[in-house]
Amino acid sequence: MNHPFASETPGRRVGVLALLVWGLAACHRAPEVSADEVEEESSPAVLTIDAMDNEQHVLRGGFPLDSGVFRVELYEGDLLLGEALLEEGRWSIPWQPGAGSESLEVVAYSMTGTELRTRLDFQRLRFTEPEGLYAAEALLTLPTAPDTTTRYTLDGTAPGPSSPVYNTPLVLLNRRGQPAPLSLIPTNPDTSPESWRWKPPATPPMLATVVRLQRFSGETPVGPAEARTYLIGQSASSLPVLSLVTDAENFFGHDQGIYVPGRMHDDSPEGTAGWGTGNYMQDGKEWERPVHVEWFEETGRPVFAQNAGVRIHGSGSAALPQKSLRLYAKEDYGPEWFQAAFFPDHPLTDFKRLLVRTSGQDQQSTKLKDCVLQGFLRQTSLALQACRPTVVFLNGEYWGLHEIRERYDEYYLASHHGLNRKHIVILEGDGLLDTGEAEDAVPYAELLAYVREHDLSAPEHFAHVEARIDVDDFIDYHVAQLYFGNEDWPDNNIKFWRYRGGSATAGAGDGRWRWLMYDLDAAFAGGPEVNSLGRLLRDERLGEPFVVLFRGLMKSPLFRERFIARFHWHLDNTFASERVLARLDAAVERLAPEMSQHIARWRYPESEESWRLEVQRLRDTVQGRPEALRRFLHEELGSP
d(CA 561, CA 216): 71
Question: What's CA 148's distance to the chain center, in Å?
Answer: 37
pLDDT at 166: 97
- Tell me whether the omega of the peptide bond preceding residue 193 falls within 30 degrees of 0, making it cis: no
Q: Which residues contact 470 (CB under 8 A, 6 or more apart)?
A: 510, 512, 513, 514
d(CA 331, CA 346): 25
pLDDT at 131: 85
The angle formed by the CA atoms of residues 444, 471 and 429, to the nearest 5 degrees, is 40
pLDDT tens, 415-426?
Answer: 999 999 999 999
pLDDT tens, 93-129?
Answer: 999 998 889 999 999 999 999 999 999 999 999 999 9
82: region left, alpha or beta (phi > 0 left; psi from -120 to 50 alpha):
left
Extract the residue ranges of the chain whose pLDDT is less than 70: 1-44, 271-273, 502-505
Q: Which residues contact 463 (CB under 8 A, 6 or more apart)?
A: none
pLDDT at 272: 61
| DSSP helix, strand, coil percent of the chain (3-state; round to 5) | 30, 25, 40
pLDDT at 502: 67
pLDDT at 132: 93
Q: Bridge-partner residues for 91, per DSSP?
A: 61, 86
d(CA 365, CA 604): 8
d(CA 208, CA 134): 9
pLDDT tens, 150-170?
Answer: 999 999 999 999 999 999 999
Give phi and psi for 216, each to the nearest 5. -130, 145
Helix (H) or strand (E) holding 425: strand 424-428
pLDDT at 306: 96
pLDDT at 20: 38
pTM: 0.91
CA dihedral sign, ordered 164, 218, 211, 120:
negative
User: Do residues 567 and 479 touch, judged by C-beta distance below 8 A?
Assistant: yes
d(CA 575, CA 622): 8
Give phi and psi for 76, each to the nearest 5. -120, 105
d(CA 609, CA 604): 12
N-terminal to C-terminal alpha carbon distance within the chain: 60
User: Do residues 633 and 567 touch, judged by C-beta distance below 8 A?
Assistant: yes
